[in-house]
A = this chain, B = another copy of it.
Amino acid sequence: MQKMNNKNKIFIDKLRSAGLRPTNQRVEISKFLFNRKNTFHFTVEELKNSMNLKRSKKISTATFYNTVHALKSAGHLKELSLENNTSYYDTNITSHHHFFDNGKVIDIKSDKIAFHKLPEAPKGKKIKNVEVVIRLENNN
């Protein structure tokens, strides 16, 4: 029943590659997340609220969580550890870093940070990724 115009192909493909059937709810979520020029950082609550605000028939909480998790597992979203009580997700899945300022997340492109020295992994282990968080506060 999916009105499958090519325009949505890219968003549908992300769902398919995550093993998800492209239902209306999922396609809308995928478009909301990926149909934008800039990186989008969000919590599931924020995503749900901003999408449902504009809708008469709300998408359920479980569908938001399920879809975000599947997209994350398929590598289309990255999960960030910035605060201890909420998961932040990131549509920028390339290796990069963040400013974090009172709930607001700002990308730092990978080439803006360079290491002069990095430790090696303990024996038997290897490095999966290196994540830098620069916390900000107001001047004076």
Contact A135 B139 (CB under 8 A): no
B122 adjacent to A128 (CB under 8 Å): no
Question: Are B113 and A108 in contact (CB-based, < 8 A)?
Answer: no
- The reply to whether B119 and A134 contact each other, CB–CB distance below 8 Å, is yes
Report chain B residues within 8 Å CB of A33.
none
CB-CB under 8 A from A112, the residues of chain B are 117-119
| Chain A interface mostly | strand
Q: Does A86 reach chain B (CB closer than 8 Å)? A: yes
Whether the Cβ atoms of B132 and A136 lie closer than 8 Å is: no
**Nearest Cβ on chain B to A64's Cβ, whole angstroms:** 16
B125 touches A138 (CB 8 A): yes
A38 at the binding interface (Cβ < 8 Å): no
Establish whether residues B119 and A136, one from each chain, have CB atoms under 8 Å apart when the complex forms.
no
For A96-127 the 0/1 string (1 means CB < 8 A from B) is: 00010100001010001111111101101111
The 6 closest A-B pairs by CB, nearest first: A114-B116, A114-B117, A116-B116, A84-B87, A125-B136, A128-B135
7 contacts between A and B (CB under 8 A): A81-B84, A81-B133, A83-B84, A84-B87, A84-B88, A121-B134, A125-B137
